[in-house]
Amino acid sequence: MIEPEGWLDLLTDLVRTPSHPGVPRQEEAVVRVLSGWLAAHGIASEISEVAPGRPNLLARVAGRDAGRRLVLCGHTDTVPLNVGDEGVGFRAEVRDGRLFGRGACDMKGALAAMAATLVSLAATGGPARGELVLAAVADEEMESRGAEALVASGFRADGAIVGEPTQNHLALGHRGLEWLEISFTGKAAHGGTPEAGINAIVAASRFLVLVEERLKPALAKRAHPLIGPPTINAGTIAGGDQPSTVAGACAVRVDRRTVPGESYGSVVAELEALVVEVAGAVPGIRASIARVPGGMLALEHLPTVLGEDHPLARTVAAACGAERGRRDEPASFPAWTDASLLANFAGIPCVILGPGDLALAHSPAESVPLAEVREAARIYARAAADFCGA
């Protein structure tokens, strides 16, 4: 494999270009950086807006003969800076072999490695057969508008590597994700006459006790052999007006991770059973369950699991072994990714592999080891040459 010059410059420019919520035309500038670097190395890009200022980018390197299509998929958006980190997170400083900055790990390091892979394969004439595609998509951190648009366009492939940070260890899947709000409505009254009201905070607290004592133990018994058990976490709770008023409303927002065999309907049904029990203990209380706005666009965020004997899994495992000197045991990724949408709604088998440590993503210390970025590019290139050429 020929390693292209300039990928560190690309990574630096990507990190120095903000693409988080609140930036006007959020991902547009960073896509210009990426497409410009590819063009300078002789690779054209197809750019399409999924919303104003929020483009997807596709770039391709085709082989001489027909064969498999492999997609390297990464997202161009990031989360915002941490409080107090303004002005620091976009400097893209290199220290001790690492590049620091917002998005370095999640996941502009992978994007730079993926672009480098296309350039290196193009320099050798491309894969012997098939096609390697870079899909840089918008909005993964919120509603996955980019991946949904890619799926809706009819785009298909024989396999995809999603470059979320795994420290270049191969992950074969992850759990699904639902953000749900359970809203309780009671009756406000003066705190001096609480018997005249119906306290929604009391209802919410009873609900949370049932989640801890009843639902969580049941979920623990459903562990999947690769991705582990389904989980539920109460992330926020808000209700009431002031201490001297009976709370007329209270809402709990939960993060619910799912495994194969679970669905939105089954998740809601379990929560509704708990709500019915709460209503029996707090007469007059009303409740509703709905998705949290902004957490999903249209497609359900299902789990995804690829068998370790699938040709894509075997190919990427072999590429990892060749570059890293050892083969990884089958593993899962702890967070949700766009692999879910590609696998479940476009029928594209997916694995997750990229440089960086997820524990540093979204943090003031976000950074990526440069050696891992280079290693990722070499793994991607080996996998593409073998998978497309098979």
Confidence of residue 206 (pLDDT cuts 50, 70, 90): very high
What is the average per-residue pLDDT within 276-281? 96
Parallel/antiparallel/unpaired status of strands 159-162 and 45-51: unpaired
Write out pLDDT tens, residues 141-164: 999 999 999 999 999 999 999 999
Looking at beta carbons, which pairs linking 1-6 to residues 24 or more positions away fall under 8 Å?
1/120, 1/121, 1/124, 1/378, 1/381, 1/382, 2/120, 2/123, 2/124, 3/116, 3/120, 3/374, 3/377, 3/378, 4/41, 4/116, 4/119, 4/120, 4/123, 6/37, 6/40, 6/41
State the Cα–Cα distance between residues 252 and 207, nearest whole angstrom: 9
Two structure tokens written together for 305: 């699991």
pLDDT at residue 231 tops 70: yes
Residue 199's pLDDT is 98
Give the least confident one: 128-132, 183-187, 347-351: 128-132
Parallel/antiparallel/unpaired status of strands 159-162 and 98-100: unpaired
Confidence of residue 390 (pLDDT cuts 50, 70, 90): low
pLDDT at residue 326 tops 90: no
pLDDT at residue 63 tops 70: yes
Among 243, 386, 215, 365, which Cα is nearest to 315's? 386
Confidence of residue 4 (pLDDT cuts 50, 70, 90): low
Write out pLDDT tens, residues 368-383: 999 999 999 999 999 9
**CA 367 to chain CA centroid, nearest Å:** 18
Residue-averaged pLDDT of the chain: 95
Record the pTM. Answer: 0.94
Helices (H), the chain: 7-15, 28-40, 109-123, 145-152, 200-210, 216-220, 264-281, 311-324, 339-346, 370-389
What percentage of the chain reaches a pLDDT higher than 90?
90
Residue 288: how many CB atoms within 10 A of its CB? 12
Peptide bond into 107 cis (omega under 30): yes
Residue 126's pLDDT is 83
Confidence of residue 82 (pLDDT cuts 50, 70, 90): confident
For 163-173, b where at least 16 C-beta lie within 10 A, e where not — what string? bbbbbbebbbb
pLDDT at residue 5 tops 80: no
Confidence of residue 327 (pLDDT cuts 50, 70, 90): confident
Give the least confident one: 7-16, 40-49, 117-126: 117-126
Structural domains for the chain: 7-174+303-389 (3.40.630.10), 177-291 (3.30.70.360)
What is the average per-residue pLDDT within 267-279? 98
What is the average per-residue pLDDT within 111-127? 93
Q: Which residue has better confidence, 341 or 88?
A: 341
Backbone phi, then psi, for 257, in 5-degree steps? -95, 135
Confidence of residue 325 (pLDDT cuts 50, 70, 90): confident
What percentage of the chain reaches a pLDDT higher than 70?
98
pLDDT at residue 2 tops 90: no
Residue 7's pLDDT is 93
Write out pLDDT tens, residues 245-265: 999 999 999 999 999 999 999
